[in-house]
Structure 1
Amino acid sequence: MAFFKRELSPIERFESALRDKQAVRQKMAERLSTAETLLVEQRTAAERLAVAGASNAQLDRAEAKLRTVEERAKMLRAELVEFDEQIVSTERALADAKAQRDRDMAADEIEGLAAAIEQAAPGFGAGAAALVDAVTKSTASIPEATRFSASVDALRREVLAAADLICWELRSAAVRTRAGNANLVLAPPTPEHVPLPEIERQLVYTLNPLLWREGSEVRRVPAFAMVALPKMLLPVALRHQHVDYLNARRVQTLIHVHGSGGFDGDLPADAPQLVDLDALTAEEREKKESAQADVA
Structure 2
Amino acid sequence: MAPTAEPFTHPALFYADETDYLAGTLPFVEGGLAAGEPVAVAVPGQKLALLREALGGDADRVKLLDMEQAGRNPGRIIPRVLRGFADAHPGRRVRIIGEPIWQGRTAGEYPACAQHEALINHAFAGRDATILCPYDTAKLDEAVLADARVTHPVLIEDGVERASDAYAPDLIVSGYNLPLSRPPGAARLAYDADRLPDARHFALERAGRMGLPADRHDDVALAVAELTTNSVVHGGGAGTLWVWAEDDHLVCEVRDRGRLTDPLAGRRPARPGQIGGRGLLLVNYLSDLVRVHTGDEGTTVRCYFRLRRHDPSFRGVQTPV
TM-score for the superposition, normalised by structure 2: 0.19
Pick the structure with more strand per residue: 2
TM-score for the superposition, normalised by structure 1: 0.20
Indicate the structure whose relative CO is greater, using CA pairs within 8 Å and at least 6 residues apart: 2
Pick the structure with more helix per residue: 1
